[in-house]
Amino acid sequence: MKKSTQEIISYFPSLKDYLQDNENILLTDEALSKLNDTEQVFLRLAWFFENPDKENFNLETIYKKLDGEWLSFALQVIFEFFEKDTYLLQETKFSVITEGSVYYNLADFARYLTNNGCEFSRQKLNVYVKRGVTPDPDIIVAGVRYWAEGTVESFLHYQKVASEQQLTYNDYRDRNLKTVCKYCGSKKVRLEYNSYSPKQDKVKCLDCNREYYVN
């Protein structure tokens, strides 16, 4: 189940039983007939998330049937779908901050690295930032730099496995972005670099937990 669908099911547990019912028209009609307007919209949205190449979702239903909290929840899960289930938003320059987003300022970033076994004082990190060897901030608000949780985590991994391989953070990130798991197709992979044999990098998939070597 997609992360965006799980989010819907956590608010509407009863919809779980209907997730497969879009496969034929009779079941579809029957499922929808048992639900109120709000539930219908979220079930159709879940059907779309689960099978975006085949299903349609009509934005008009959100406009006509939802308002207030449910409207805001629908927009949030749609954003999550694009961000977490498709990765289509990965390179965007615009940031959408949702309730679940976590951003780190410089001090939090340094603390995160230190707490995870990679000693960084605030001062040291500041020097790195000024030299341009850390990831670019994901957002800058009133002159203050913030890094997204995924960016901070990716930099920690870079420090641990790649910083001594004469690979810059941006090169490391680009190589990671180009890699998909050969077993499950997930883009949530971590590359590890083999210093003795650079062509034998190891890929670790965070979704299916498999590990393998690439040439």
Residues near Zn ion (CB under 5 A):
181, 183-184, 186, 205, 207-208
Q: Please report how close the Cβ of residue 82 comes to Zn ion at its closest, in angstroms.
A: 21
Q: Please report how close the Cβ of residue 184 comes to Zn ion at its closest, in angstroms.
A: 3
Q: What is the four-CA torsion angle of 27, 31, 32, 38, rounded to 10 degrees?
A: -150
Shorter beta-carbon distance to Zn ion: residue 122 or 188: 188
Shorter beta-carbon distance to Zn ion: residue 161 or 181: 181
Shorter beta-carbon distance to Zn ion: residue 138 or 201: 201
Q: Please report how close the Cβ of residue 89 comes to Zn ion at its closest, in angstroms.
A: 21
Q: Please report how close the Cβ of residue 84 comes to Zn ion at its closest, in angstroms.
A: 15
Give the span between the Cα atoms of 26 and 49, in whole angstroms: 21
- Residues in the chain, overall count: 215
DSSP codes, 99-167: TT--EE-HHHHHHHHHHTT----HHHHHHHHHHT-SPPPSEEETTEEEEEHHHHHHHHHHHHHTTTTT-
Shorter beta-carbon distance to Zn ion: residue 17 or 207: 207
